């Protein structure tokens, strides 16, 4: 959905129409981030969650953010049109959205098993004796 809003924004004739469409498109494009991070953290052991998120972010930025401005600039120079260079990204975004939707359909509840940290307490004194890990099934 976000790709469609960004494409519409790029086709808007005025700044007054462009800005809201671009903001809506950007918001839609980043809605995946929370659930995606939760899934990344749920598939690794709790002791390495921070490392997993760090490595995933490093890979995402190295494969995307580091060369994207250069690539779009080169494409824009070759086409002599920045708007067309940005609109060329619409089909890959739609394909990735379809891939993401297919993965979502295959695993309808990725957070069905969640690892919680439960404190261990003495029954009579309420002292905190540490933390144990327990896997709970969510309904």
**Weakest mean pLDDT among 49-53, 81-85, 133-137:** 133-137
Q: How many domains does the chain have?
A: 1
pLDDT at residue 39 tops 90: no
Q: Is residue 134 part of a domain?
A: no
In a domain, 63, yes or no: yes
In a domain, 11, yes or no: yes
Residue 119 included in any domain = no
- Structural domain boundaries enclosing 104: 2-111
The model's pLDDT over 77-132, given as tens digits with 9 standing for 90+, comes to 999 998 898 888 888 888 887 887 777 666 555 555 444 555 555 555 555 545 44
Establish if 127 belongs to a structural domain: no
3-class DSSP assignment, residue 104: helix
The pTM for the full model equals: 0.59
For the chain, what percent of residues have pLDDT higher than 70?
74
- The two three-digit tokens of residue 47, written as one number: 């002791």
Distance CA 55, CA 39 (A): 14
């Amino acid at each position: 959905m976000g790709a469609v809003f960004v494409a519409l924004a790029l086709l808007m004739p005025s700044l007054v129409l462009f800005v809201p469409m671009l903001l809506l498109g950007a918001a839609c494009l980043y809605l995946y981030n929370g659930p995606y991070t939760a899934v990344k953290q749920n598939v690794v052991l709790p002791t390495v969650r921070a490392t997993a998120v760090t490595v995933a972010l490093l890979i995402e930025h190295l494969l995307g953010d580091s060369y994207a401005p250069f690539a779009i600039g080169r494409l824009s120079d070759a086409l002599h049109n920045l708007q067309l260079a940005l609109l060329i990204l619409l089909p890959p975004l739609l394909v990735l959205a379809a891939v993401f939707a297919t993965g979502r359909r295959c695993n309808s509840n990725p957070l069905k098993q969640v690892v919680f940290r439960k404190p261990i307490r003495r029954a009579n004194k309420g002292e905190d004796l540490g933390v144990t890990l327990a896997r709970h099934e969510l309904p």
